[in-house]
Structure 1
Amino acid sequence: MNVKASPLSLCLLMMTAMFRSPCGFLLRPLREAAGRASRLQQGGAAQRSMLWFSAASGQNLKIAILDSYTTDRGELSWDPLKKFGSVTAYDRTPRDKIAERAGDADVILTNKVAFDEESLKLVPKCKYIGKLATGYNDVDLAAAKEKGIAVTNVPGYSTAAVVQLVIAFMLDHLIDVHGHNQSVRKGEWAECPDFCYDILGSRGGIMELSGKTLCIVGTGNIGTRIKNVAEAFGMNVLCAQVPGRPASADRVPLDEALSKADFISLNCPLTAKTTGLANDEFFGKCKKTAVFINTGRGPLVDEASLVRALDSGKIAAAYLDVLSTEPPANGASLAAIEHPKVTVTPHVGWASAEARVRLIDEVASNIEAWTKGVQRNRVA
């Protein structure tokens, strides 16, 4: 049976609820507000940073790009960022120009301009630092968090580009396209009576990737993709245990992997445990015919040890896209690039046109997520 409540009965019910629990009825909104304030206080500076933008959605942000030349030589567009506010791009920014160029910026984008605790004091209005890169060890994350500054990076945008460079390095060693081309340009083929000249070349002849063994040190996004492509070529792939990482059943002990590898590719993060990983002891465990490849981080390699390994015949050759000092100056980096058994590219493995377009799009997505209070590629 349906019973209709009269206005009088509804009024009596409400009055009863008030008398029974006046605080619960009247003060609930106040309690909820107090709870939110408490959570905000407990969340610390990082939470304040997130909630700041929730309150400022639609605000015209001031965005400063401190070293745009690394990403864009004039052929790309930063337009995806303009929906968030004004965008000012500087080719390069020395430390003594940070305050002038970014002191009043809400958002700072940087590739290699470092932000330690002192540098962060130069940008008092900054609420967000976006790394135009995957690595972020040049930002003091603890200091940024203390100041309520959100920090993001862009993982994975250049994976395909780096993978193809590693494969290109291996193919170059086995085929020597440049060497054969130089021989032809010198007229040596024209002087030969045979249709196929110099099949041995300067490296003992063309060889195949199929059947060769590749040791990958670091199987994150890039290392895993290298593994997949190498296996498609018919290579045997050993995923080595990275120092400082938990042991895993699908990882081969590093010493064992080095002793079996024809090619060694460094793709692990730079940490206290991996800095200088490729040293005298490391190269001493390699096959004399091994080819060493570093497209990861320059300081993973003790370059003086690399030169000694090449001079003593502990390994056959090295291919480097990164150095401990960039650009190279006097010292170990310069000695490495001048060695006849070393091939060097100027840190371009990440820089395909497609990768750089993805980078800008990903940075825009990171900023948009931050404006909505969403965690995306946050490292602080």
Structure 2
Amino acid sequence: MEVIAFLDRSTLPGPLRMPALPHEWREYPLTAPSELIERVSEATILISNKVTLSADVLAAAPRLKFVAACATGTNHIDLNVCRERRIPVSNIRDYASDAVPEHVMMMLFVLARNLLAYRSDLQRGAWQRATNFCIASHPIRDLSSMTLAVVGSGSLGRGVARLAKGIGMRVWQVERKGAKAVRDGYVAWDRAIAEADAITLHCPLCADTHNLIGEAEMRAMKPGMLLINTGRGGLIDEVALAEALLAGRIGGAGLDVLHEEPPRRGNPLLDLNLPNLIITPHNAWTSRDAVTRMADQLTANLEAFAAGAPRNCVA
């Protein structure tokens, strides 16, 4: 009989089929650090989306046999400890390969066509007072005339590339920052930063990618560059981005992630009220279809482990 503890069930906004294996199910909407030790102590299987499973926490789970990440990212789990104890860790893959790319394209359309600025005009009565049949007070660009630089070649980056090409955009797959050589089919980092019309980030957050886009990169960008981040907040220097937007050095930004989530201590970007800045609350992945795929895959990972053939293993 497995004891399964889902430590942050509220992070999965949809129904979940119970796994077909003998088990005792324990679920908690959220788990505070002070509650962790007690909740993991009897578990043989842990499920976590964002709850940190550090070495100390894992040490408090002597019966633990399997960890199921309810997400693709696993930087909240001490994988080295899991490897040492031969505890498999599985993650969820490719569940948002439509949802996140569509969110990216939505942000690009809104920014390129200055939708928020025009909505503000209507709210202020500008069209109602206009002498002409239309108002054209803000520039509008066609995405089909733009070059999009894609950072990250996983399922999300590939999904964005597919949609962008479908509307006629020129798409560049970007080589890693600081790479000594440029792979076939890739564009050098410095060239992409300087020449692309838009850039979208789909790479993991690690020591090498922290503040991947900082002040130097924003100064090197075209004045009209559109910057999209649906990856991780730490990929962008948020203070530098706020300054670049206020100074008009880039054309706009669309973010679904911030460095701290939720941003309880504030954020310089949240203080701005600009028509060329879109911030959504890390919900690009939460389409009904994507959540269903995530839930189905989570259950399948649990059942695969119970059958002796764990899948989607990262440790």
- Equivalent residue, structure 1, for 2:44: 106
Per the TM alignment, residue 330 of structure 1 is displaced from its structure 2 partner at its CA by 3.5
1:298 and 2:233 matched: yes
1:83 CA drift (Å): 4.2
Aligned residue number for residue 257 of structure 2: 322
Pairwise CA distance, 1:231: 0.7
Per residue, is there more helix in 1 or in 2? 1
Q: Does the alignment pair 1:354 with 2:292?
A: no
> Identity across aligned pairs (percent)?
32
For 1:44-55, list aligned pairs within 5 A. none
| Cα distance in structure 2, aligned partners of 1:365 and 1:80 | 10
CA gap 1:287/1:107 in 2 versus in 1, 3 angstroms: same
Structure showing greater Rg: 1
Residues 209 and 235, structure 1, Cα contact 8 Å, conserved in 2: yes
Aligned equivalents of 2:293, 2:37: Cα separation in 1: 29
116-125 or 79-88: bigger deviation: 79-88
The one-letter code matched in structure 2 to 1:234 is G
Q: Which runs of 5+ in 1 are unaligned?
A: 1-59
RMSD: 1.9
For the residues of structure 2 that align with 1:247 and 1:378, how far apart are their CA atoms?
30
Deviation at 1:335, TM superposition (A): 0.5
- Is this contact kept in 2: 1:242–1:268, CA < 8 A? no
Q: Is the 8 A contact 1:321 1:344 kept in 2?
A: yes
**2:228–2:253: 8 Å Cα contact kept in structure 1?**
yes
How many residues matched?
312
Give 2:6's aligned residue: 65
Question: 2: CA distance between counterparts of 1:104 and 1:358?
Answer: 29
Tell me the secondary structure at the aligned position of residue 109 of structure 2: helix
Q: Which among 178, 194, 197 is matched to residue 134 of structure 2?
A: 197
Task: Give the equivalent residue in structure 2 for 1:143.
Answer: 81
In the aligned structure 1, how far is the partner of 2:102 from the partner of 2:278? 16
Cα distance in 1 for partners of 2:235, 2:129 equals 46
- For 1:307 and 1:215, how far apart are their aligned partners in 2? 21
Distance 1:213-1:127 versus aligned 2 partners, 3 A rule: same
Cα distance in 2 for partners of 1:236, 1:379 equals 34
Q: For 2:177 and 2:222, how far apart are their aligned partners in 1?
A: 20
Q: Is the 8 A contact 1:259 1:286 kept in 2?
A: yes
In 2, Cα distance between equivalents of 1:193 and 1:247: 54
Matched residue, 2:302: 367
Aligned residue type for 1:364 = T
Aligned counterpart, 2:269: 336
Bigger relative contact order, structure 1 or 2 (CA pairs below 8 A, ≥6 apart): 2
Could you tell me which amino acid in structure 2 is paired with residue 169 of structure 1? M
Give the gaps of 5 or more residues in structure 2: none
TM-score where L is the length of structure 2: 0.93
Q: Is the 8 A contact 2:21 2:306 kept in 1?
A: no
TM-aligned CA deviation for residue 244 of structure 1? 6.8
Q: CA deviation at 1:295?
A: 0.5
- What is the Cα deviation at residue 95 of structure 1? 1.4
